[in-house]
Amino acid sequence: MIYTMSVSGLYVADEVDGHLNVVTGVVWTLIGTDGTYTATKTGTDNIGPAHLDNFVPFGDLTEELVLTWIPNYGTALSPFFTRYMQYQAEIWVDILQQKGANIELAPFLPWEL
């Protein structure tokens, strides 16, 4: 399974602390594919003012830079990383269902027999 994350939108404030067109939120898309089937999840993360310390004008932003602003994206102990892993699992289940797998909640736990 291959997962890729991209930025699909930005929330922008017209002015913050003397800076114009300041990004305040990132809309992202996570895509998973097994080469044949594809599934996606989207989400939005508000970002704090930390990126103002090294302000980059709106017109000079790159997707790679903006992805680093998602709170703790890629950090194993961060809340986003936990959600990211959950989204990967949901994409995997979606692809299994596209392949025809019937996924249901088990009616009992094996150790309760």
| pLDDT above 70: residue 71 | no
Cα 23–Cα 24–Cα 29 angle in degrees, nearest 5: 85
Q: Tokens for 39? A: 């599934």
CA separation for the pair 76, 81 (Å, rounded): 6
Chain segment 18-43, per-residue pLDDT in tens: 999 999 999 999 999 999 999 999 98
pTM above 0.85, yes or no: no
As a whole number, the mean pLDDT across the chain is 86
| pLDDT above 90: residue 74 | no
Quick one: pLDDT band at residue 6, thresholds 50, 70, 90?
Answer: very high
